[in-house]
């Protein structure tokens, strides 16, 4: 690899793109640019303008490209994940938030419009992407977040403290019993991958924590089922529950919620790619202990 400061920025980014393409990185050009921008800190627009001139490649670029070629997630290298309006600190031990979850958050933001001080809880908060976004975008909301993994909890604590979210280390199955029947909204993106469905991408299979991926049981539905049960426990009557899932799980989840008899208005929602990505429902009767 000849990448180095004796090269122009443009030549180095082209060479990095080829290296990342060869390593099977799905978006090699954009990752090559983002790694250069991580070192230069000028923004992608200015970076592209700089590549038209004879700006030299930044020191350390070859090392970052070599890490990315090992399929270490871009966000672990830069230490940052962008989610809606937030820049979240991320790294080993925490799930990197996904763009499709941004549209799940939007369902809650739309639902609470007009409510004065909505009380909202995010079950399995990971980096705090969902809870943090709601706290940032819904003035007056009281937002709680629950996370089981101490590693993820530490990242969430960093991200959520400035946003005023009340974060606890706990199990979504029995967390916050003292607040049963008090929330207007429960949102969750729980682990939901079936035990045998090991993801193909090394960034996911090797770097997202297993406890963030696998939902438990052969079909991955233990934690989603538990999240729905906890939502029924935590919500006020008439409260709103939204849960993310894989597109193939929408029918199963709607059926599971139907059978409990406590939910009405069970609705499947599409993400921006037209995939069945989330299910929402309204708690029908008095809350269940």
Ligand X SMILES: C[S@@+](CC[C@H](N)C(=O)[O-])C[C@H]1O[C@@H](n2cnc3c(N)ncnc32)[C@H](O)[C@@H]1O
Residues that bind ligand X (CB under 6 A): 95, 97, 101, 124-127, 129-130, 146-149, 152, 171-173, 189-191, 211-212, 223
Shortest distance (Å) from residue 9 CB to ligand X = 33
Shortest distance (Å) from residue 173 CB to ligand X = 6
Closer CB to ligand X, 69 or 229, in the complex: 229
Cβ-Cβ contacts under 8 Å for 84 (sequence gap 6 or more): 102, 105, 129, 133, 136, 137
> Under a CB-based contact definition with an 8 Å cutoff, are residues 257 and 281 in contact?
yes
> Under a CB-based contact definition with an 8 Å cutoff, are residues 198 and 247 in contact?
no
Closer CB to ligand X, 10 or 89, in the complex: 89
Closer CB to ligand X, 17 or 230, in the complex: 230
Closer CB to ligand X, 12 or 243, in the complex: 243
Determine how β-strand 86-89 pairs with β-strand 80-83: antiparallel
Give whole-number Cα distances, 189 to 45, 63, 71, in Å. 33, 34, 24
Closer CB to ligand X, 61 or 192, in the complex: 192
Closer CB to ligand X, 118 or 126, in the complex: 126
d(CA 35, CA 3): 13
d(CA 102, CA 38): 23
Shortest distance (Å) from residue 226 CB to ligand X = 7
Determine how β-strand 119-123 pairs with β-strand 142-147: parallel
Shortest distance (Å) from residue 35 CB to ligand X = 23
Largest CA-CA distance found in the chain, in angstroms, rounded: 70
Q: Which residue, among 94, 88, 171, has the nearest Cα to 132 in the 3D structure?
A: 88
Shortest distance (Å) from residue 201 CB to ligand X = 15
Q: Is 247 helix (H, G, I), strand (E, B) or coil?
A: helix
Shortest distance (Å) from residue 5 CB to ligand X = 36
CA atoms within 13 A on the CB side of 16: 30
Shortest distance (Å) from residue 86 CB to ligand X = 11
Q: Which residues pair with 142 in a beta bridge?
A: 119
Closer CB to ligand X, 63 or 211, in the complex: 211
């Amino acid at each position: 690899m000849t990448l180095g400061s004796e090269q122009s920025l443009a030549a180095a980014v082209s060479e990095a793109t080829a290296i990342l393409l060869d390593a099977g990185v799905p978006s090699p050009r954009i990752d090559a640019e983002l790694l250069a921008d991580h070192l230069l800190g000028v923004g992608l627009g200015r970076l592209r303008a700089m590549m038209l001139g004879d700006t030299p490649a930044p020191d350390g670029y070859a090392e970052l490209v070599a890490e990315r070629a090992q399929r270490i997630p871009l966000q672990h290298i830069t230490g940052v994940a962008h989610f809606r309006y937030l820049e979240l600190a991320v790294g080993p031990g925490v799930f990197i938030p996904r763009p499709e979850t941004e549209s799940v958050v939007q369902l809650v933001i739309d639902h609470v419009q007009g409510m004065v001080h909505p009380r909202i809880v995010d079950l399995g908060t990971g980096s705090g992407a969902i809870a943090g976004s709601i706290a940032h975008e819904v003035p007056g909301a009281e937002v709680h977040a629950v996370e089981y993994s101490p590693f993820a909890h530490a990242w969430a604590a960093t991200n959520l403290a400035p946003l005023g979210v009340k974060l606890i280390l706990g199990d979504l199955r029995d967390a916050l019993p003292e607040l049963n029947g008090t929330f207007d909204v429960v949102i969750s993106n729980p682990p939901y991958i079936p035990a045998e469905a090991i993801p193909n991408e090394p960034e996911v299979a090797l770097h997202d924590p297993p406890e963030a991926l696998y939902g438990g049981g052969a079909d991955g539905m233990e934690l989603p089922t538990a999240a729905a049960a906890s939502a029924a426990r935590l919500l006020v009557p008439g409260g709103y529950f939204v849960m993310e899932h894989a597109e193939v799980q929408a029918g199963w989840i709607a059926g599971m919620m139907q059978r409990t008899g406590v939910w009405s208005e069970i609705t499947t929602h599409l993400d921006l790619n037209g995939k069945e990505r989330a299910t929402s429902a309204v708690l029908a009767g008095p809350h269940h202990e």
